[in-house]
Chain A
Amino acid sequence: MALPLPPSLTPQEVAFLCEMELVTIIPRQKLQGLELLGGSTPVLNPPQRSDIPLWLALLLKRQRRANIVPPAWLHPTSLTAILEFETEHSKEAFSPPPKLPPLSDALHATSPPFLPSSTAEAPPDALPYHWLEMGEILLEAAPEDFEEPDHVRRLMRDLREVRMAKLRTGVEVLDAGGGVKMNGVGAMEIAEARAFIGGVIDGLRKIGASREQARREREAEERENGFLGTQDDEDDDMEL
């Protein structure tokens, strides 16, 4: 182990990626559009709402030049609904990710950060990819922009616990060829669970390796013994 870092993104890196997401702010001062490498930011004209990247919003917030409007899914009512869905209705699977926009829009944007999933207009009934880090950052940077920051914080904690427990129990159903459905799992959750889940799958693969080898040999033998018609080339390609 020469590298001290784990073979995945660290929480800091995930949070950095999250700062590219667009959030809605209410500016308190005028600001001309900035010509940046990643594109230009909209002209800020108080009290008109505008969508700007999170990092710029945090900067303006710190300088008291803007207020952040929390995304719709970060309201206590929607978080409660999602939490109830996670604990009552789907005990196995995660709550689904936000729906993609209709196809005409999808030509330009199909995934975050190009899809505005954390602006004020974001769907209130689904957690986007960067939900955990977005929620934590906003709660820390702009607690006074929330109506009930403590309630939101508590709901976020509960959601995190529930979903991490699901990820952990997911390994019990794993098999050498099986899988866990991870639709709707957020970036930070993946970063947290990757080392463990990868380790479990690797261990299972090692234990099952000799059995797998025996199965392959048996199949190869059967194939040679006259099942030439049903030869399956895909299997051969998988051999390493």
Chain B
Amino acid sequence: MSSYYSPSALLTDAQKVPCTFTLTVPGLGYLDATPEADLASGTKVSLPLWLGEMLAISQNLSTSSLVKLDFPPALSERVLNALKADPRTVDLRQQAANFYALGIRMLDLFEHEEMGEVLTETFKTRAASIADQAHNPRGALGEGADFLRGLDESERELFKAAHDSSKAVRTWMAEISKK
């Protein structure tokens, strides 16, 4: 699914997700700041996505998985409601640097119709403002600064693409007038 060579996919893998252990694991207490103890079942631990995902979907002999995966705080109900109210005012970068990538991974794991819709709407609405900001030379310094600081990694790439191409056209126009 995710590209092996893509840095943003790697960074998404490293995002922490809350996991609840459903079994007692001997000697794993250091994960919960209690070294040399057993990790009791029911403990909540934040694990990187790659580890939590593997533990959650792999099943042992008794056909119950080792941990139960929860939604990370970046995709909590509170954030989704804020996005529904106004996508432009939410600081996505503060939630997660690779917000959409994380959302896509969670959508792969969970059936969550509503989250998919909210993410799609958010992406579209924000993309339109990103394009406006990228074409407006003063946008990055003036009132748009707060919005631009809150862009997640994929949105920054979009901004860069839009900005670079409009800059290329402007450069070309300046070039022909020099000749």
Contact = CB atoms under 8 A, between A and B. Distances in A.
B125 interface: yes
A140 B123 contact: no
A203 B127 contact: yes
Interface stretch (A24-32, A165-173, A230-238): A165-173
Nearest to B124: A172
A194 B107 contact: no
A200 B120 CA distance: 10
A146 B132 CA distance: 33
Chain B interface, >50% SS class: helix
Contacts of A209: 104
B135 A164 contact: yes
4 closest A-B pairs by beta carbon, nearest first, are A11-B172, A195-B161, A196-B162, A168-B131
A10 B171 CA distance: 11
B177 A203 contact: no
A174 to B, nearest CB: 6
Nearest to A212: B116
Contact of A207 (B116, B132, B162, B172): B116
Contacts of B161: 6, 195-196, 199
Given A6-B165, A195-B161, A211 B113 contact: yes
B90 interface: no
Interface in B107-143: 107-108, 111, 113, 116, 119-120, 123-125, 127-128, 131-132, 134-135
A137 B179 CA distance: 10
Contact of B107 (A15, A191, A196, A211): A211
Contacts of A136: 173, 176
A192 B169 contact: yes
Interface string B87-102: 0000000000000100
